[in-house]
Every structure is written in C-alpha cells, then in structure tokens.
Chain A
Amino acid sequence: MEDKEERIETSLVAIVIDATPAKKFASQPLDGSSMMNRIFDSLIAFGNAHLMQASHNKLAIIACNSKSTKFLYPSMDGTSRSYHNRPGQYDMFAKVDSDVRHGLGELILNDMTDNDSTKSDSLLGGAMARALSYIHRVQRELSLSHQLKPRVLVVSGSCDSALQYMTFMNVFFTAQKENVVIDCCMMDTDSGLLQQGCDITGGQYLHIPSVAGLLEYLLWVFLPSPSCRSKIVLPPPTKVDYRAACFCHHKLVDIGWVCSVCLSIFCKFSIMCTTCNTEFKLNRPAIVPAKSKKRARIE
C-alpha cells in the first residue's frame, strides 16, 4: 500500500524541425503534393498522436531555417485565430494544425527576401536552446501534483555546422543536467554532433532511409516515452565518434596536445598557442654538465 500520492506524469515533447528549404528532397514532388508538405503533415499527425496519449500531455513545435527560429506551437501571436475544426474533432488538434501551418507560412515568407540562404547553415542550435527554455518554464509553472517528463525530438536534414559547435554542446550539457532526453530523426545525411547529443542525454538517434515513411518511423520509434523504451526493441545505438578535431587542420586526432590555458587541441607540439597566444615552456630534460675527468695522478 502506497502512502505517498502518485504524481501525475505529464509528458512534454518539444519538436524541433529544420525547415531549411534548400534541401533536395524537400522540393521533389510526390503524389501531387510536395515532400515538404508531407513532412509537416506527418509532424502534425505525430504531435496530435502524442497529445492523444494522455490528457495532461503537452506539445511544443519550433521551426528553424537559416534565417531565424520560430515557435510554431504554442503560437506567440497575440491574435487568436478561428479554428475550423471538423465536427467531432478535438479542439486542440485543430489548433495545432492551424497554428503550425500559419506559422510555417510566415517563416518561409520571411526567408524569401534574401536569395543566398542556401549558403548559410540552419539555426538548429538556437531552436534547441529555445526549446530547453520553454521546457524550463513549463517545469516551473507546473503544479506540484504533476511530474514533468520532458523530451526534445529533432527532425532535420541538414549536415553539421562546425561553427555552431559551442551552442550545440551547451544545449546538450544543459539537457543532461535538466534530465531532458534528446531524440533525433535524420532524414538525408548523418550528423555527428546530434549523435553525440543523443548519446550524452540517453536518447534515440535514427537515420531514415526513406522520407516518405517519416510518419511510420516517428510513431513506432519516437512516440514511446523513454521510461517504456526498455521494453521495446529499438534500433541499436550507433557508433559515436568522440574524438576531437584539432583546431589547426580540423581533422580528428587520437592523441593531441591540449593548451592548459584555453583547452584548444592541436595535433602537433608547437611553441605558441594560436588561440590564446600563450607561449609554452619547452619541457626539455635537464642537461647534466659533463664532469671534468680528473686525471689519475700517477704517483
């Protein structure tokens, strides 16, 4: 018999979707509707499926491209739009659907003003940072009878951006500290950084072979919460390469030299650190002066 009351478990999923338009799969038409449309349909269906699991469940959707990041749901617009829900449809599903489509439209329109958006990287780090802040706020606002189980699902097709390394690592360490699990569903390429993040936080990383089946993968692999994943046979963990890249050539090193001041990694021993400009003391073994040989006196 349990004396303490059971706390209601509230599961919060924050979906971070990379909506960079300049990806080859996104513009391929399939059955009349473009692939991008299909991806967002799958995501809305997944979000609604999560909300359907329990009445206390919460959802957040954040989209990003190379220009900005945006909260699609809950929408940050002050105006409340009228939702056209079909008869018998749960109001919240219609709200999610409407907010996501409207927000996505605004996000893409924002990007249309500049033509060279294909060059810069997608702002996934910023979107994940906002997701974590949102999770932190919900944790604060939730009453004591609820226990929050948060997780972040990243759906992306972009490669790693080496310049956002710091942002990504800060996000991963924060997630580890706040007990947030980061899952990742990669559509086109593999991402080493996100693999590390999933490994650090204990989440699931999956590289999808075909984007047309996105909804199936989401529902089968990512819908179960982390607590019941031990009972399900999920795709095995991938080999995560934890080697560091040297700062001079950006190639992975097995054994490197680390500056004790700024912790930057070099592949060869050098006299000066290029990052913090400190000179290093050369650790030479002490040279013992040769003893002058005394001539043996012959007496």
Chain B
Amino acid sequence: MADEDETKEYRWESGYEKTWEAIKEDDDGLLESNVADLVARAKRKRAALKDTGAIQLGMMRHLFVVVDASACMFLQDLKPTRFLCVLKLLEVFVHEFFDLNPISQLGILTTKMKRSEQITVLAGNQKKHIEALQQLKDLSCEGEPSLQNSLERAMNGLKNMPAYSSREILVLFGSLTTCDPGDIQKTIKSLKDNNIRVSIIGLAAEVRICQEIAKKTGGTYNVLIDDHHLKELILNQVQPPAVAGSMEASLVKMGFPGASPIVNDGTSDSSADHAPAYCLCHIESETSSLMGPNGYNCPQCGSRYCELPVECKQCGLTLVSAPHLARSYHHLFPIKPFIERAQVRETTHCFACAKLFVEAETNVYECENCNQIVCLDCDLFIRETLHTCPGCASDPVTAQMKTN
C-alpha cells in the first residue's frame, strides 16, 4: 500500500490484480480447505517474520492512547460508525495489553473541538479503563482534532515517568486535517528529547505529518484497509517494542505480598495479615465494604489491597505477584521458528496433539533442538499461545532450561 517506502509503485500504477486466480477448488469442488490453508499459511508467514531474535524489549510500558473524536469519526465506512468500531477494538486491546504486559500502565485521551481531554489517568487497573471506554460510547464527535494538543498533553503525563520505562503514545487518527496552536515541529523535537515513541494508525488516508512524526520518534505509521486489518494493527501494538536505544536500566523496588486466603482448618493465624480490614483501592468509593481476610498486604506499610498489580497509595511501592513477572518471561526466551519439511515416512502422528498425518502433501514442522515433528496447527498454537515447545519440554536434556 502507499504507506510502504516510496520506491514501490502506487496501486493505481500497477496492472490489474487477478485475485480470483489465487483460489482453486479441490477435488470435491469445495473451497473450504483451500481457504483455510491460505489463511494458515499467511498467519505462519507473519509469525515467522516476527521472530527477531535476542533484542532488548521494553517490558515496563507507559502507553497513552489518543482517540480521535472529531466530526469525521461519525462516518460509517467502518460499521456502525468509525468511533464505535474503534472503541470496541480498544476494549479488546486493553484486555490483551494487560494480559501480556501486566506491570505496564495505560491512559486514554480524546481529541475534539481543537482541544484534547483526558479520559483516564495512567493506571494499571484494567477494569477502570474498560468502564471508561464503555462510557465513551455516548460521546458526541464534533469539531476538528488537534494533534499537537493531544501530543503535548500525553507528553506532560509521560515526562515524569521513570527513565527505565518505555514511553509510548498510540494515536488513532481518523481525520485528514489537524488544527494546532503552534509549531508541531517543536512538539516533535521535545517528544524525541523525552524518548517518547509515537505510533499512529490512520483510519482514512495517509497524512504526511503523521508519517513524519512516526518516523522521527521511532514509531510506526499504518493506514488501515478494512476493519480486520484495523484489529490486526491495534493488536500489533500489544507486543513489547524493541528498546529505542537510550533507555536506562535500573533496579526497581517491588513488593511481593503473599496471599492470605481463608484458611478453614481450625488453626488460627494470629498475624495481623489475616484480620479483616478496609482495602485501600476502594476506600474512596461509597460502596467500599469491609474486606474479609482475603486480600494482599503491602510488605512495607501493611495496607490491604484486593487485587494485584497495584501501586501502594501509602508508601509508593509497586506490588506484583510472581506470575505477573513470569508472564513476560517468554519474551526473553523466544522459540526459534520451526523448519518446514515435506512429510517424513517414519512419524505418523503429530508429537503435540497426536493427530494422524493423512495427506502426503501437507508440510510438517520440525523443531531444531529436539527434532520432534508437529503439524501446522500445533505450530501456530505453540508460537502464539503456548510459547514452549512440547518436544523440548519432553526431552530430559533440553527440559532443564536456563531459567535465569
């Protein structure tokens, strides 16, 4: 498309693309298997491209999402309207983001009427963001967006974040114009000085200033083709990005509260950890109730919280549990892509799912370390979800991983 480098031709310059020739019927005259095959192959190609090897990833992310709420977002080229489609996809994005980056924080801004407004502050609580997004559905989109105002506001929020975190802004821009109070080049310069990476997803057409902002700050700029592509572009932002180069590393102090669930075996635990207490996360709301012995106590100041991860309001310590950190460990030990082979006579079944290999033309995939053969679906499953090769885990030599 036009947003790739300028040396390629534009779409209207190349000849007719005969897309119907790509699909062929199989022997029974059915198209299903062929379509599924093409989809799986495309998925695999994309998954293989993502394997970038051992590079440093920004795990602790502070991300601001800027949603365009100007008049052009009421257009119905994405159903039901651009704005509602984007909000729905953002809910999925928030869920996946906290799933994959549990110790990161997210904030939401909108821009309309030549100004920008903050919907949620930078926080690590998933529910608050999703609730805010649901309330945004009633917002009326009017006026013109202001790219500079929203970037400045996001920058103000990100400036005070610690240096070891990865600072990012994601802009969902649907308009072709922007109304700025000053020189946007100055904003771009200060974004660069503060190490903030801006990625923009265009909903209409390619806009040159967006391309420039993304290029200068080290982010990406993409324009969507249809709503499936939009979902893919948004979900691409969930993966931790490579470090921009001058990120400082430091040791962050974190607390690991041991959980205190109800213990019914009659022996009473006399420590104050199990006494009922008000939790600090709900203490300001009217509906806060006395928490039972469930909950987590901050090891530094003893305040009680219902859920992790959270930043302790009293002493400022970040509280996480070990599985939260473990969720990000698989980025540190990526699996090498499997080698594609034509079917081998000796192995009749896929190692991972025990499926019988039926046709002779399907390709099978082999792991370099353990030499076990898996089928295409298991390859995608291992790559996208499991992040562990079952063959390597079932071999006593390779199972003892270096887990440092």
| A136 CB within 8 Å of chain B | yes
Contact A164 B258 (CB under 8 A): no
Shortest B388–chain A CB gap in Å is 4
What A residues does B184 contact at CB under 8 A?
none
Interchain CA distance A40-B388 in the complex, whole Å: 29
Whether A170 contacts B390 by the Cβ 8 Å rule is no
Q: Which residue of A lies closest to B260 (CB)?
A: A239
Q: Are B250 and A123 in contact (CB under 8 A)?
A: no
Q: Is the pair B322, A255 in contact by a Cβ cutoff of 8 Å? A: no
Task: Specify the chain A residue showing the minimal Cβ separation from B378.
Answer: A133
* Contact partners of B74 in chain A: CB under 8 A: none
Taking a contact as CB atoms under 8 Å apart, the answer to whether A165 and B390 are in contact is no
User: Which B residues lie within 8 Å of A275 (CB)?
Assistant: 404
What is the chain A residue whose CB lies nearest that of B390?
Answer: A129
A137 CA to B263 CA in the complex, in Å?
39
> 1/0 per position for B355-376, CB-CB distance to A under 8 A?
1000000000000000000100
Q: Which of A163, A253, A269, A280 contacts B403 (CB 8 A)?
A: A163
Q: Which of A166, A171, A254 contacts B401 (CB 8 A)?
A: A166
Question: When the two chains form their complex, are residues B396 and A120 in contact, meaning their CB atoms are under 8 A apart?
Answer: yes
Within 211-263 of B, Cβ neighbours of A (below 8 Å) are at 248-263
- How far apart are B5's CB and chain A's nearest CB, in angstroms? 31
Chain B interface residue count, CB cutoff 8 Å, equals 68
For B387, what are the chain A residues with a Cβ–Cβ distance below 8 Å? 170, 174
- Among B112-120, B143-151, B328-336, the stretch that binds chain A is B328-336
Q: Which of B152-160, B170-178, B344-352 contacts A (4 or more CB under 8 A)?
A: B344-352
Given contacts A123-B394, A172-B323, A263-B325, contact A278 B249 (CB under 8 A): yes
Q: Per-residue CB proximity of A241-258 to B under 8 Å, as 1/0?
A: 111110100000111111
Chain A interface, DSSP helix/strand/loop, else mixed: mixed
B388's closest neighbor in chain A, by CB?
Answer: A170
Question: A260 and B251 in contact (CB under 8 A), knowing A129-B390, A130-B351, A243-B256?
Answer: yes
- CB <8 Å contact, A126 and B394: yes
The secondary-structure label for the interface of chain B is loop
Rounded to whole angstroms, the CA-CA distance of A136 and B394 in the bound complex is 18
A127, B248: Cα distance in complex, Å = 40
Q: Is B353 in the interface zone, CB < 8 Å from A?
A: yes
Binary CB contact string for chain B from 252 to 278 against chain A (1 if under 8 A, 0 otherwise): 111111111111110000000000000
B285 in contact (CB, < 8 A): no
The reply to whether the CB of A191 lies closer than 8 angstroms to some CB of chain B is no
Is residue B385 within 8 Å, beta carbon to beta carbon, of the partner chain?
yes
Q: Mask for A119-143, Cβ within 8 A of B = 1, else 0?
A: 0110101110110111011001000
Asked if A64 lies at the interface with its beta carbon under 8 angstroms from chain B, I say yes
Minimum Cβ distance to chain B for residue A253 (Å)? 6
In the complex, number of A-B residue pairs with CB atoms less than 8 Å apart? 213
- B317: chain A residues within 8 A (beta carbon): 255
B-chain residues with CB within 8 Å of residue A237 when the two chains form the complex: 261-262
Chain B nearest Cβ from A30, distance in angstroms: 29
What are the residues of chain B within 8 A of A164 when measuring CB–CB?
393, 399-401
Cβ of A66 within 8 Å of any chain B Cβ, yes or no, is: yes
Complex interface: chain A residues within 8 A of B265 (CB): 236
- Whether the Cβ atoms of A196 and B386 lie closer than 8 Å is no
Q: Is the CB of A260 within 8 A of B263?
A: no
Contact B400 A163 (CB under 8 A): yes
| Contact (Cβ within 8 A) B403 A165 | yes
Looking at A68-76, A84-92, A219-227, the stretch in contact with chain B turns out to be A68-76
Q: Are A125 and B261 CB-contacts (below 8 A) given A137-B377, A167-B401?
A: no
Given A167-B399, A275-B404, does the pair A133, B381 have CB atoms closer than 8 Å?
Answer: yes
Contacts of B377 in A (CB 8 A): 136-137, 140
Q: Which of A121, A134, A140 has the most CB of B within 10 A?
A: A134
Q: Which 6 A-B pairs have the closest CB atoms?
A: A126-B394, A126-B393, A133-B352, A244-B322, A260-B164, A137-B353
Given contact pairs A173-B323, A241-B258, A254-B299, a sample of 11 additional A-B residue pairs in the complex whose CB atoms are under 8 Å apart:
A126-B390, A130-B394, A133-B353, A133-B381, A136-B381, A137-B354, A167-B393, A242-B257, A243-B257, A256-B254, A281-B250
**Interfacial residues, chain A to chain B (CB-CB below 8 A):** 64, 66-69, 71, 74, 76, 78, 120-121, 123, 125-127, 129-130, 132-134, 136-137, 140, 162-167, 169-174, 177-178, 196, 200, 236-237, 239-245, 247, 253-266, 269-270, 273-275, 278-281, 283
7 contacts between A and B (CB under 8 A): A121-B399, A137-B354, A242-B257, A256-B254, A263-B328, A263-B329, A280-B249
- Interface residues of chain B, those whose CB is within 8 Å of chain A, are 56, 59-60, 99, 163-165, 248-265, 299-300, 317, 321-323, 325-330, 332-333, 348-349, 351-355, 374, 377-378, 381-382, 385-396, 399-401, 403-404
